[in-house]
Amino acid sequence: MFFAHSGSPDDQGDWQRLQDHLQETARRAADFGRPLGLEKPAYLAGLHHDLGKYTRQFQRRLAGDDIRVDHSSAGAVEMMARAEKLPAAGRIVLELVAYCIAGHHAGLPDRKNETAASLDRRLEADVPALDPIWQQALAEASQRWSEGLAPDLLRTIPPADADFSLSVMARMIFPVWWTRISRIRRPSMTGWKAGRGTGTGRLCRSACPGF
């Protein structure tokens, strides 16, 4: 059994199952991304954001071991690997999803810089091996939501504006799914609150009042 979050140290009955956490985050993220045409990338970001918790090292950390474990890079690595197999439009969207996953604790990373926090450095990092059970738990939904991935709005971007427009799209995907995380945690996790006050969140709501 793999868990996303721990609870009572002596009884795992109130611990949150990792598969439940990822699937529910993904479902709600898709619901919020749908008015913006971003339900598929939002779903994939939610489904893979904690993929790195499918490791024995992270489960030991939840059990009390005093170790540091990078759990937020594995999902980005998986998205980038899958992106290489897709046509250009789908590849671009999955790369944006990878940015969002890699930044779900520290914020959207730069692609390249001198620090270990850049996306390229994160993708090259030596992270713990995932237990193959993650594919049994998530692969079917992951594949299904990857089909026809490029949203309609991606097809409307003029080439001259591509860099700016894609940057904005990433900043729309990020709050659409990230703010869902807090709503999936158990009610006892009172320290987590939805981040609906972000600048990008306000932008999304101004573009789509239903957000």
pLDDT on residue 95: 87
CATH code, 143: 1.10.3210
Range of the domain at 37: 3-207
* Residue 101 · residue 81 · CB < 8 Å: no
Q: What is the percent of the chain where pLDDT is above 70?
A: 74
Torsion, Cα of 178, 108, 41, 19 (10° steps): -50
Distance CA 25, CA 3 (A): 14
Q: Is the confidence at residue 197, as pLDDT, over 50? A: no
Confidence bin at 205 (pLDDT 50/70/90) = very low
Predicted confidence (pLDDT) per residue in 137-177, tens digit? 998 999 889 888 877 767 777 777 777 777 777 767 766 55
Flag whether pLDDT at 40 surpasses 80: yes
d(CA 128, CA 143): 23
Asked whether the predicted pLDDT for residue 196 surpasses 60, the reply is no
Q: How far apart are the first and last CA of the chain?
A: 35
Predicted local confidence at residue 138, as pLDDT: 94
User: Is 90 exceeded by the pLDDT of residue 3?
Assistant: yes
CB under 8 Å to 156, separation ≥6 — which residues? none
Q: How many domains does the chain have?
A: 1
Q: Taking 70 as the threshold, does the pLDDT of residue 107 lie above it? A: no
Given a cut of 90, is residue 133 above it in pLDDT?
yes
- 177: closest CA among 34, 70, 7? 34
